[in-house]
Amino acid sequence: MEVADKSTFKWDSKIPTGPLTEKWKTHKNNVKLVNPSNKRKFNIIVVGTGLAGAAAAASLGELGYNVKAFCIQDSARRAHSIAAQGGINAAKNYQNDGDSIWRLFYDTIKGGDYRSREANVYRLAEVSNNIIDQCVAQGVPFAREYGGTLDNRSFGGAQVSRTFYARGQTGQQLLLGAYSALMKTVHSGKVEVRTREEMLDLVTVDGTAKGIISRNLVTGKIERHAADAVLLCTGGYGNVFYLSTNAKNSNVTAAWRCYRKGALFGNPSFTQIHPTCIPVSGEYQSKLTLMSESLRNDGRVWVPKAKGDKRPPNQIPEEERDYYLERIYPSFGNLVPRDVASRNAKNVCDEGRGVGESGLAVYLDFADAIQRDGLKAIQDRYGNLFEMYQKITDENPYEVPMRIYPAVHYTMGGLWVDYNLMTTVPGLFALGEANFSDHGANRLGASALMQGLADGYFVIPYTIGNYLVEVTPGEIDTDHEAFVEAEQKITAELEQLLNIKGSKTILDFHRKLGKIMWDKVGMSRDEEGLKEAIAEISALRKEYWTDVFVPGQQATYNKYLEYAMRVADFLELGELMARDALERPESCGGHFREESKTPEGEAKRDDENYTHVSAWEFTGVDSAPVHHREDLVFENVKLTQRSYK
């Protein structure tokens, strides 16, 4: 495998010099500004309208840029940010419990197992407070105390209450806030929202992003859109595992096409497996449903002490229950970070102590909380989540403990970006979950909403100008040969998929890929399994291109054709994820290598050799990518073995 110094790649993380607490302030003072009358000359494309995309499009439109925002759904309001339940972190210290920007920064970098950049994470903590102010001003109805001030709850990996929430629908309320800001700029004419339109390629001219090729999902028409900068806000790629908590249409295609055009992909194997999801119930299952981490504030996680104990939970006496998180981690208890909670759930199920029909579940029990705080209090806190659980499982969680199991939820990896959120393709930026930047090897709960909005509202409006001042606006139009070529390639690819007319459905392949990923690139990984995964995925990809059946035609609404393109890209991504996991023999955060654990079975990092970001360069679909590394420098925090005991 190649290493950075052999590469011709030029990259720079552009982290400002100076003390950590001053970097962002100094940078904001030093970035070049675009004159207000010049802003209207620049066209900016924003792909995706979740928290990052809607916030960025609205904020850039307000500044005077011309923005075109794209989403694959029928409305910008439906992006998957809407499904985030629990909350959003901020260092307001409204609870007087000792919180500060420093502590939020420290918890986030420690929670990420020291595999993220100090400067980025500090900036995130710094702007977190502005986000809450902004959202309240938009009319987001956060939960409040009787006195009228904002309420907070606790989340995993922190010992302070810093999570703001709106019942169990925080993502919905924040996204509707950002969406309303977006609609306001649509009204003022600065932003055009193009719904049901999917980016299928990035157009570059001399290596610089100059636009995109998209497909109108209603008519099937392939369209060209030129711009002076492209912002990728397309979320994560958890659906590579087939079953995940992501929305069915969430995909990697836009990001993957950027990778193919020269954007490095950072830490692709860093995946978050969320500990509290409703367990799989059958083969037909199309997706998994998350039960918010906030439930661990009041719910107690347990399994029977004895293996194979099949008694109903209420018949298992207290002394025969193992509240294993409270037992192993007395100081954090049920509120350990997600990676730790997930791994422990897997361990107890592997020991044969799992519950439910499949034995792949643990209990999350609210009996004590209901007795302590009353039914009404629990209903107020989690009513909609309990209702959702009952709809899906047909069991009443007020009476019977919930059954939960880990599921793929979030991808910390993504397009590599510098401090300005620009990828290695000039003019191409990546925001929110689509980039790799702030969560290291594990994301803490309530930090995804924070990062999406931080990038969109408070980072990109400053950093994009620094790039644009060097660009001649409107230099390239859609008649340029780069657009013609890219359009022809995409049209040919769609035709090719439709013409295979094979014997297996797209879903057959996606399920198979998902199984390889879950078994070998999932919660625990080892060298042998990863090597097998690489070979198996590569073989499955070849089979896909000879034996898949894609129905219908190109020039029409055709959801399965959309799906076929996405699965084609997942079949390339899966292999890269396995390669990335193989290249990192240490364990860190959600990346757990069987070869690297402490005597207690916890993830064991190798700081001497692996304190870096892995960033991958595309060289061709069937040729090995080039591995680059960005060394992470820690000047402000001391790297310690994470302990939540």
Partner 1 sequence: MSTQDNISVNLKVWRQDGPNDKGRFEDYSLKDVNTHMSFLEMLDVLNENLMKEKKTPIEFDHDCREGICGSCNLVINGIAHGPEARTAACQLHMRHFKDGETITIEPWRATAFPVIKDLVVDRNAFDRIMSAGGYVTVATGNAPDANALPISKVHADSAMDYAICIGCGACVASCPNSSAALFTGAKIAQLSKLPQGEPERKQRVKSMVEQMEKEGFGDCSNFGECEAVCPVGISISAIATMRTEYVKAMFS
Which residues are part of the catalytic machinery?
A: 338
Distance, CA of 430 to CA of 412 (rounded, Å) = 13
Distance, CA of 592 to CA of 273 (rounded, Å) = 11
CB of 58 to partner 1, least distance (A): 7
CB of 458 to partner 1, least distance (A): 7
Range 348-367, binding partner 1 (CB under 8 A): none
| Interface pick for partner 1 out of 38, 180, 466, 554 (rule CB under 8 A) | 180
The residue among 239 and 524 lying less far from partner 1, judged by its C-beta, is 239
The residue among 177 and 337 lying less far from partner 1, judged by its C-beta, is 177
| Interface pick for partner 1 out of 17, 29, 30, 286 (rule CB under 8 A) | 286
Distance, CA of 511 to CA of 514 (rounded, Å) = 5
Range 483-502, binding partner 1 (CB under 8 A): 501
Residue 626 interacting with partner 1 (CB under 8 A): no
CA angle 186, 187, 189 (to 5 degrees): 65
| Interface pick for partner 1 out of 1, 377, 392, 484 (rule CB under 8 A) | 392
Cβ-based neighbours of 32, under 8 Å, separated by 6 or more: 465, 466, 469
Q: By CB under 8 A, which span of 99-107, 265-273, 384-392, 611-619 interacts with partner 1?
A: 384-392
CB of 325 to partner 1, least distance (A): 25
The residue among 73 and 587 lying less far from partner 1, judged by its C-beta, is 73
C-alpha torsion sign, points 568, 442, 536, 245:
negative
Residue whose entry in the numeric block shows the structure tokens 């230099």? 475
The residue among 329 and 458 lying less far from partner 1, judged by its C-beta, is 458
Cβ atoms within 10 Å of 638's Cβ, excluding its own: 6
Helix (H) or strand (E) holding 339: helix 338-350
The pairing of strands 66-70 and 191-194 is: parallel
Range 399-458, binding partner 1 (CB under 8 A): 457-458
The residue among 491 and 505 lying less far from partner 1, judged by its C-beta, is 505
Range 91-150, binding partner 1 (CB under 8 A): 92, 94, 130, 132-150
| Interface pick for partner 1 out of 13, 43, 66, 73 (rule CB under 8 A) | 73
The residue among 461 and 585 lying less far from partner 1, judged by its C-beta, is 461
Residue 31 interacting with partner 1 (CB under 8 A): no
Binding mask of the shown chain, residues 75 to 94, with x at each position contacting partner 1 by CB under 8 A: xxxx-x-xx--------x-x
Residue 227 interacting with partner 1 (CB under 8 A): no
Range 566-605, binding partner 1 (CB under 8 A): none
| Interface pick for partner 1 out of 284, 499, 600, 631 (rule CB under 8 A) | 284
Comparing CA positions, the residue from 351, 382, 361, 251 lying closest to residue 313 is: 361
CA angle 602, 90, 372 (to 5 degrees): 70
* Token pair of 358 as six digits: 């499949």
Residue 281 interacting with partner 1 (CB under 8 A): yes
The residue among 133 and 475 lying less far from partner 1, judged by its C-beta, is 133
By rule CB under 8 A, what count of residues binds partner 1? Answer: 81
The residue among 285 and 396 lying less far from partner 1, judged by its C-beta, is 285
What's the one-letter identity of residue 447?
A: S
The residue among 106 and 557 lying less far from partner 1, judged by its C-beta, is 557
Distance, CA of 445 to CA of 38 (rounded, Å) = 40
Distance, CA of 220 to CA of 532 (rounded, Å) = 38
Residue 49 interacting with partner 1 (CB under 8 A): no
C-alpha torsion sign, points 55, 235, 490, 492:
negative
Residue 103 near residue 73, CB atoms below 8 Å: no
Residue whose entry in the numeric block shows the structure tokens 């069937």? 622
CB of 70 to partner 1, least distance (A): 14
Residue 289 interacting with partner 1 (CB under 8 A): yes
Comparing CA positions, the residue from 222, 179, 223 lying closest to residue 75 is: 179
Residue 218 interacting with partner 1 (CB under 8 A): yes
The residue among 136 and 205 lying less far from partner 1, judged by its C-beta, is 136
Q: By CB under 8 A, which span of 19-27, 202-210, 243-251, 583-591 interacts with partner 1?
A: 243-251
Cβ atoms within 10 Å of 579's Cβ, excluding its own: 23
Residue 461 interacting with partner 1 (CB under 8 A): yes
CB of 335 to partner 1, least distance (A): 24
CB of 332 to partner 1, least distance (A): 28
How far is Cα of residue 578 from the mean position of the Cα atoms in its chain? 18
SS3 234: coil
The residue among 40 and 287 lying less far from partner 1, judged by its C-beta, is 287
Residue 600 has phi, psi (to 5 degrees) of -85, 0
| Interface pick for partner 1 out of 93, 120, 195, 587 (rule CB under 8 A) | 195
| Interface pick for partner 1 out of 88, 166, 273, 421 (rule CB under 8 A) | 166
Binding mask of the shown chain, residues 528 to 567, with x at each position contacting partner 1 by CB under 8 A: ---------------------x-xx---xxxxx-------
The residues that bridge with 89 in the sheet, in sequence order, are: 163
CB of 274 to partner 1, least distance (A): 13
Q: By CB under 8 A, which span of 165-173, 234-242, 304-312, 339-347 interacts with partner 1?
A: 165-173
CB of 633 to partner 1, least distance (A): 31
Q: Count the residues in the chain.
A: 645
CB of 89 to partner 1, least distance (A): 14
Cβ-based neighbours of 305, under 8 Å, separated by 6 or more: 320, 321, 322, 353
Q: By CB under 8 A, which span of 103-111, 118-126, 313-321, 385-393 interacts with partner 1?
A: 385-393
Residue 19 has phi, psi (to 5 degrees) of -65, 150
Cβ-based neighbours of 81, under 8 Å, separated by 6 or more: 50, 51, 171, 174, 175, 235, 449, 452
Range 500-529, binding partner 1 (CB under 8 A): 501, 505, 507
Residue 205 near residue 229, CB atoms below 8 Å: no
Distance, CA of 119 to CA of 22 (rounded, Å) = 10
Distance, CA of 377 to CA of 495 (rounded, Å) = 57
CB of 557 to partner 1, least distance (A): 4
How far is Cα of residue 617 from the mean position of the Cα atoms in its chain? 21
Q: What DSSP state is assigned to residue 153?
A: B
| Interface pick for partner 1 out of 39, 103, 110, 167 (rule CB under 8 A) | 167
CB of 393 to partner 1, least distance (A): 8
Residue 163 interacting with partner 1 (CB under 8 A): no
The residues that bridge with 277 in the sheet, in sequence order, are: 290, 405
The residue among 185 and 524 lying less far from partner 1, judged by its C-beta, is 185
Residue 232 near residue 430, CB atoms below 8 Å: yes
Residue 82 near residue 382, CB atoms below 8 Å: no
Residue whose entry in the numeric block shows the structure tokens 């209603």? 218
CB of 518 to partner 1, least distance (A): 19
